[in-house]
Amino acid sequence: MKKFISAVTSLAMTVTMASSIAPSVSAADASKGFAIKAYAEAGSKYDAMGSKVTVSKDDIAAGDVVVPVAVYLDEATNDSEAVSVSVKLVSDSADVKNVTFKRVNPNDEYFAEAKEYTAGTKTFSTKNAVIFAGEVSRRGAFVPAGSWEIAADTSQKEAGAENAYIGCSWTNNGSAYEFIGSKSTDHPFFVFDVTLPKGTAAGDYKLEFCRYNTDTSGQHNNPTPMIETKAGRFNEDLKNLNLEEMTITVEGSNATTSETTTAKPVETTTAAPTTTVKPAETTTAATTSAQPVADADVIFDFGNYEAKAGDEVTVDITVDSKNKAISAMDVVFAIDSPLTIDEIDKQSLAFKTTAMTNMAILGANFKSLDDKGEPLVPTKDPVFTLYVTVPATTPDGIYNVGFGKKCEVHKSNDGSKYSSTAINGKIKVGNPVDDPTTSATTASQPATTTTAATTASQPTSTTTKPVADADVIFDFGNYEAKAGDEVTVDVTVDSKNKAISAMDVVFAIDSPLTIDEIDKQSLAFKTTAMTNIAILGANFKSLDDKGEPLVPTKDPVFTLYVTVPATTPDGIYNVGFGKKCEVHKSNDGSKYSSTAINGKIKVGNPVDDPTTSATTASQPATTTSSTTASQPAETTTTVSTPSGNTLKPVWGDVNCDGDVNVADVVLLNKWLNNNADYAMTDQGKVNADCFNPQDEKGGAVDASKVDLTKADSDAIIKSVVHLITLPAKG
């Protein structure tokens, strides 16, 4: 199950921070169940057909038919800790090979228009397909419960799926969850679309559950489908898991229908595009720029403009790639003082894509790939648009605008780049005495390196650009408050167009201020974070449908809700990272270097008001009365056990109860964080050593030589959700 495995490298962090407190329940269910049915909230003609869907001969003759499908979890008690379920397509028709499944991520938009829902006393609206459990954040957004892994494929040999396949693994992150409706089946467990191509042969196309033991070693019985709770398991072998399957019937030429349907299927998954309206231009180009002398691969032209003091100038930058395809751009702009670049448009019209901008460094970047991941050739439309302010006190003169020290134009995903040249823009203000002609400069030789710095998250004062040349830059922003206030701290991230697969961080704040809540939504990645307020920790994985890392948007990557006690003295209080800030590149465990601009919360009217300075994520700026509780112990611990005690491992059974489940992961993580307070037997330690163990063949080993790390915990949780077989190697 390679695709599943590549998409879940970060699942380990999900349980690493899981609470040891199980959800409170009134009584355990005698049985639970799954049902495959038409997605009742899709807004398609099939909504009410349940597990028996009929596609008319007219519809299948007219075009592709999309049937929105959902798997529903049926439980009376909200106590599930881990779930594994997968679905395959079965039919006698030869056309079954052409039918496809498309996964729907709970964090992705599904509907063209937002739908309104009520959860308890809160109302929210979303374009996403709302799942069975979750909560409403302070922003009024729906946050799905737990951590999900959903993968679709054309087949899956291990699961016995010769045709279309989809599988879902879920954990509750060790936290209680609440149903969004009055019961679990009011909303689906997960959603996927089934597409039957135009002309698909008549017949029954059955959606059946995959039934198999995911432990290929035979040491354990880890069947799927399965639901695991603290009280025990639910599966078919135990006769306590009810399963309802689905059939899609395509009618043939002899069938009769009572109504004529439309030629096109109901579309449910395309979100309505949003466009940024370009502000009215206040100036016009004055002259045509001269051609650059450098024989570069790519030529940028900033254009020439005329303005008067007090104007706003819209600078449209065009690019001539000489018909070369471009996969991405990463640039920094510069402008002569006193003119300022006040906004960089997020739309790159030349590529019809959205750019990520950073006004603090006057930076912009984007990727320009088609649906197949291939680089694009730009059109003649502007590749960037800058909105420039000419202050009312600006002297008459010619002012340059161009690139700063960075202009990267990427050929493809292998990191190769084109050479580039820029024709700097000239903004003529008033009637200058000297009026030089436009000259060409290379992208690496800017006309000016002076830039105006602003912050991105509504701070009350400006922050300086970090001095460290880190791969990733976090900015906590600056704020003003008074004693008794609550402050919302939005943490932004500039990855310089680098894709990120996961983050794992711990925050710290100066006393007496406290971080009372960490928002579970990471807006920059449109994903759900797992948070642990006890250690002020948060982590998430950020992967697309194919398991590839994502580039963050300009939206907040984390949001902290800070309380300023009523007795807080006037002063400047720092907020930033504690001892942990891990930014993962990919699934191989490699990490980026990172720097954080600590946030400053100004309370009242302090005597001293220092400027914000940059610090690295591993060394927080705050040292006085900082929140030391947010600095957890190291998770790599060498076991100290008397030598000579050799034991044969039972892979993953940390608590030695005969089963491998969530309880084993929780115990191991407790022990890794504080082994003095949690007892683990020698046998348990040998069982837990399942990633690169002493003897991968399972022979007896010396318990005193066991080295337990987070990697062992990672391996066990992957086996719990049936993604790998223990032991694991890496």
Evaluate whether 428 touches 436 at the Cβ level (below 8 Å).
no
Per-residue pLDDT reduced to its tens digit, 365-414? 888 877 666 889 999 999 999 999 999 999 999 999 999 988 999 887 66
- Mean residue pLDDT of the chain comes to 78
Evaluate whether 710 touches 16 at the Cβ level (below 8 Å).
yes
The domains of the chain are located at 32-250, 298-429, 472-603, 646-721
Residue 514: other Cβ atoms inside 10 A: 15
Q: How confident is the model at residue 617 (pLDDT cuts 50, 70, 90)?
A: very low
Of the listed ranges 65-69, 217-221, 417-421, 617-621, the one predicted with least confidence: 617-621
The number of residues in the chain equals: 730
User: Quick one: pLDDT at residue 227?
Assistant: 93
Distance CA 147, CA 256 (A): 45
Question: ω before 23 within 30° of 0 (cis)?
Answer: no
Three-state DSSP state, 677: coil
Q: Are strands 134-136 and 122-126 parallel, antiparallel or unpaired?
A: unpaired
User: Quick one: pLDDT at residue 439?
Assistant: 37
User: Quick one: pLDDT at residue 139?
Assistant: 75
Report DSSP letters for 164-231, one per residue.
Answer: -EEEEEEE-TTS---BSSSSGGGS-SEEEEEEEPTTPPSEEEEEEE--EES-TTSSS--EESEEEESS
Strand order across the 486-494 sheet: 514-518, 558-563, 486-494, 472-475, 594-597, 614-616
Which residues 6+ apart lie within 8 Å of 136 measured at CB?
Answer: 119, 120, 122, 124, 142, 143
Evaluate whether 204 touches 91 at the Cβ level (below 8 Å).
yes
Q: Is the pLDDT of residue 650 over 50?
A: yes
User: Hey, which residues does 669 pair with through a beta bridge?
Assistant: none
Distance CA 402, CA 523 (A): 31
Distance CA 251, CA 646 (A): 65
Share of the chain above pLDDT 70, in %: 77
User: Quick one: pLDDT at residue 539?
Assistant: 85
Per-residue pLDDT reduced to its tens digit, 282-292? 333 333 333 34
Closest Cα partner for 490 from 474, 505, 514? 474
One-letter amino acid for residue 520 of the chain: K
Distance CA 132, CA 34 (A): 12
Q: Can you tell me the mean pLDDT for 557-568? A: 94
Q: Can you tell me the mean pLDDT for 513-529? A: 91
Distance CA 600, CA 618 (A): 18
| Long-range contacts of 631-636, Cβ-Cβ distance < 8 Å, separation of 24 or more | 631/506, 631/508, 631/578, 631/579, 631/580, 632/506, 632/535, 632/537, 632/579, 632/580, 632/673, 633/673, 633/674, 635/16, 635/672, 635/673, 635/709, 635/710, 636/672, 636/709, 636/710
Evaluate whether 165 touches 543 at the Cβ level (below 8 Å).
no
Evaluate whether 369 touches 548 at the Cβ level (below 8 Å).
no
Q: How confident is the model at residue 468 (pLDDT cuts 50, 70, 90)?
A: low
Second CATH level (architecture) for the domain 472-603: Sandwich (2.60)
Q: Enter the CATH code of domain 298-429.
A: 2.60.40.680
Which residues 6+ apart lie within 8 Å of 156 measured at CB?
Answer: 1, 86, 88, 165, 167, 210
Distance CA 214, CA 224 (A): 7
Q: Can you tell me the mean pLDDT for 68-92? A: 94
CATH topology of domain 32-250: Immunoglobulin-like (2.60.40)
Q: Is the pLDDT of residue 452 over 50?
A: no
Of the listed ranges 506-510, 589-593, 708-712, the one predicted with least confidence: 708-712
Of the listed ranges 319-333, 436-450, 545-559, the one predicted with least confidence: 436-450
Q: Do domains 472-603 and 646-721 have the same CATH topology?
A: no
Name the residue with higher pLDDT: 26 or 708: 708
Instruction: Quickly tell me which residue has 């590839």 as its tokens.
Output: 548
Q: Is the pLDDT of residue 169 over 50?
A: yes
Name the residue with higher pLDDT: 299 or 450: 299
User: Quick one: pLDDT at residue 274?
Assistant: 34
Instruction: Quickly tell me which residue has 């340059």 as its tokens.
Output: 400
Scored b (16 or more CB within 10 A) or e, 165-181 reads bbbbbbbbbbbbbebbe
Instruction: Quickly tell me which residue has 């994985």 as its tokens.
Output: 541
Q: How far apart are the first and last CA of the chain?
A: 17
Per-residue pLDDT reduced to its tens digit, 594-615? 999 999 999 998 875 544 333 3
Closest Cα partner for 376 from 344, 403, 410? 410
CATH topology of domain 646-721: Type 1 dockerin domain (1.10.1330)
Scored b (16 or more CB within 10 A) or e, 704-725 reads bebbbbbbbbbbbbbbbbbbbb
94 burial type by CB count under 10 A (0-12 exposed, 13-18 middle, 19+ buried) = exposed
Per-residue pLDDT reduced to its tens digit, 345-371? 877 889 888 777 788 789 888 888 776
Q: How confident is the model at residue 484 (pLDDT cuts 50, 70, 90)?
A: very high
Rg of the chain (C-alpha set):
29
